[in-house]
Amino acid sequence: ILVKYGRTFDIVKPPSRRSCCFTKGYHHYVEATGSILQMAEDLDTATTFNIYDTLLQRQATTFLVSEPSPASSSPPPPEAVALLHTLRLRYFTPREVANLMGFPPEFGFPESINLKQRYRVLGNSISVRVVAELMRYLIKEE
């Protein structure tokens, strides 16, 4: 997944102040469902992917010179995959998504709700803080 879709992820680091909208397909589908968290804060994401691309180009050049088979059909070199793993990318947990959406700390899911259902519920919800402000505005007496 990382090799195929890595560049389509919206990658954020723990100190980031933004994230993409989390949809009900988060953690189940890869593209356009929410941000991915990069735990290796000291690494520059763009630079890492640029080095990865250089390793792929080097492999493509090697295949073109030495073999008639297209380089695109071969897997990426192990050192390129290992490089992407150094970013330590992971999905946000349901609790982290709930925190970002303003759910209170005491909010939790019943034990019977599985992981996929938790992401779906959160992906179909809206920010608690935004709703609270809208409600205050709507019921404010003028």
User: What is the model's pLDDT at position 75?
Assistant: 85
Span 89-127, pLDDT tens digits: 999 999 999 999 889 999 999 999 999 999 999 998 888
Q: Are residues 55 and 84 in contact, defined by beta-carbon separation less than 8 angstroms?
A: no
User: What is the model's pLDDT at position 114?
Assistant: 95
Tokens matching residue 14: 């723990």
Span 28-78, pLDDT tens digits: 888 888 999 999 999 999 999 999 999 988 887 765 555 555 545 678 889
**How many folded domains does the chain comprise?**
1
Residues 37 and 85: their CA atoms lie apart, in Å, by 13
User: What is the model's pLDDT at position 63?
Assistant: 57
> 87 lies in which domain range?
1-64+73-139
| Domain at 35, CATH number | 3.90.120.10
Whether the predicted pLDDT of 18 surpasses 70: yes
User: What is the model's pLDDT at position 72?
Assistant: 54
DSSP conformation class of 135: H
Cα separation values, 120 from 80, 114, 125, Å: 33, 10, 9
Q: Are residues 59 and 77 in contact, defined by beta-carbon separation less than 8 angstroms?
A: yes
Tokens matching residue 51: 């080095």
Tell me the average pLDDT of the chain: 87
**What global pTM score does this model have?**
0.79
